[in-house]
Amino acid sequence: MTRAVALRLGVFAGALALAFAAAFGIGSAVDPIAAADPPKPEAMADMGGAHGGGHSESGGQLPGLAVSDAGYTLAPETTFFTAGSKTVLRFQIKGPDGKPVSGYTPTHEKELHLIVVRRDLSGFHHVHPTRDAAGTWSIPFSFTAGGTWRLYADFQPSGLDRTLTLGVDVNVSGLYIPVPLNEPASSYSVHAYDVTLAGTPVAGKESELTFKVSSGGKPVTDLQPYLGAFGHLVSLRSGDLAYLHNHPAQHADAGMQGGPEIKFGTTFPTAGTYRLFLDFQHAGTVHTAEFTVQVGDSGTAIVPPTELPDESEPHSHGEETHK
């Protein structure tokens, strides 16, 4: 090899190394997942689970961010839909052997809970599909607007000692108008009910949240059990839609009455903005109250208002579906 050839090869190798270094730097700068701070170890230890103690995250992964976990995969029949059209959501949970799972351990009275929400955190639905003999889950459904929607399947396979939450995006054609996330507030009105929120959430530590339900200015003291409790809470982290799902410590059997307060022990794994969806049942109907909560590394108290909104104001701020 001549000296000139060797010199050219050396220059080429140096340029190639610089190109790889630049590409790595650009990739790190534009990948928010890679650059994000991981959840605090104590937060992962205290996460508890979707149903009061069962979720475990593989490799530090929060529930709902992956389509597969522990060998189980959420497999929708299709991921393309049309807004406003009646359709049927069909999907399977495939096990480590690649076959549809046929055995489930019920969690809070259901074998599987399905959460459907658009990626801007509007259009929340909590439904319960049915499973056929072949292991396919299905439920009639209608997407109300175009955009990207997130499906969460929350379940516990018979052969696993914990619950799983798997998530997948689906595409809905139609008019898409982004809905801005509501500002943090400590009260929400839905139909004839006013719900207030109190607590001091802190990132990485278990925080107690207290919801209080009233109607017509009077506390509601005869809440009915819903899925084995007086309230059902789903929390989604804005941005990546990581899924937290907790129930109050108090169990509720048929015939019991509860309220006006519903308390939850919830761990927010990181600082950030979260959207909370509280389901409660009264007079035979399930209602959903929605809250935006800002969580920091140091506790910021959420203080309920001294006066509730005027009864003449519109009550329902969003859609809700429960089946």
Please report the domains of the chain, with CATH numbers, ordered by start residue: 50-173 (2.60.40.1930), 187-295 (2.60.40.10)
Residue 15 and residue 107: Cα distance in Å, rounded?
Answer: 58
Residue 248 and residue 227: Cα distance in Å, rounded?
Answer: 11
Residue 172, SS3?
Answer: strand
What is the helix (H) or strand (E) element at residue 45, kind and residue range? helix 41-46
The pLDDT value recorded for residue 247 is: 63
Q: Which residues contact 99 (CB under 8 A, 6 or more apart)?
A: 135
Strand partners, 141: 87
Q: Which residues contact 173 (CB under 8 A, 6 or more apart)?
A: 80, 81, 82, 83, 146
Q: What pTM did the predictor assign? A: 0.81
Give residue 100's Cα distance to chain centre: 24
The pLDDT value recorded for residue 60 is: 62
Residue 152 and residue 112: Cα distance in Å, rounded?
Answer: 10
The pLDDT value recorded for residue 245 is: 65
Residue 21 and residue 218: Cα distance in Å, rounded?
Answer: 65
Residue 138 and residue 72: Cα distance in Å, rounded?
Answer: 18
For 30, phi and psi rounded to 5 degrees? -100, 0
The pLDDT value recorded for residue 300 is: 86
Neighbouring C-beta atoms of residue 96, cutoff 10 Å:
13
Which two structure tokens, joined as six digits, stand for 200? 């001091």
The pLDDT value recorded for residue 322 is: 72
Residue 280 and residue 288: Cα distance in Å, rounded?
Answer: 7
Written as tens digits, the pLDDT of the chain (323 aa) is: 444 444 343 433 444 333 333 333 333 333 333 333 444 444 443 443 444 333 444 446 799 999 999 999 999 999 999 999 999 999 999 999 999 999 999 998 999 999 999 999 999 999 999 999 999 999 999 999 999 999 999 999 998 999 999 999 999 999 999 999 999 999 999 999 999 999 999 999 989 999 999 999 999 999 999 999 999 999 999 999 999 867 677 889 999 999 999 999 899 999 999 999 999 999 999 999 999 999 999 988 999 998 876 544 444 444 556 76
The pLDDT value recorded for residue 10 is: 43
What is the helix (H) or strand (E) element at residue 12, kind and residue range? helix 3-30
- DSSP 8-state symbol, 119: T
Between CA 165 and CA 171, with CA 166 as vertex, the angle to 5 degrees is: 135
